Amino acid sequence: QVQLVESGGGLVQAGGSLRLSCAASGRTFSRYAMGWFRQAPGKEREFVAAISWSGGSAYYADSVKDRFTISRDNAKNTVYLQMNSLKPEDTAVYYCAVHKSQFTRGSSWSSEYDYWGQGTQVTVSS
């Protein structure tokens, strides 16, 4: 069984930082790109960041560029999202996911990911 478990969410004030973790089990994902998505109340799920299978490149949504950093540790089968300078509009449930295809740079399309975590809540107060 494949399982992704996100952790590290919580309540922070605007301008603060959080680091989210996504630990995978049941399969090694070192050959797959990984992504982070989020869903705010009343809004559709949106792309946040993706990291290539090799960890050599990353994509970010314009809304989080220069504030968030995605990284991975294949030895731990874990992907991270470092979030700095948090804003109230970052409030959402954050999900990690595994891309369907091997050896890609990832993408911003949720339909191209096939394994998802349960999500972790991030709340940013003003």
SS (H, E, C) the chain: CCEEEEECCEEEECCCCEEEEEEEECCCCCCEEEEEEEECCCCCCEEEEEECCCCCCEEECCCCCCCEEEEEECCCCEEEEEECCCCHHHCEEEEEEEEEEECCCCCCCHHHEEEECCCEEEEEEC
Residue 37 confidence (pLDDT) = 98
- Spell out the per-residue pLDDT of the chain, length 126, in tens: 899 999 999 999 999 999 999 999 998 999 999 999 999 999 999 999 999 999 999 999 999 999 999 999 999 999 999 999 999 999 999 999 999 999 999 999 999 999 999 999 999 999
Residue 27 confidence (pLDDT) = 87
Residue 114 confidence (pLDDT) = 94
**CA 78 centroid distance within chain:** 11
Look up residue 34 and give its two tokens: 């990984």
Residue 58 confidence (pLDDT) = 97
Residue 1 confidence (pLDDT) = 87
Residue 3 confidence (pLDDT) = 95
Q: For the stretch 9-30, what's the b/e string if a residue is b when 16 or more beta carbons lie within 10 angstroms of its beta carbon? A: beebeeeeebebbbbbeeeebe
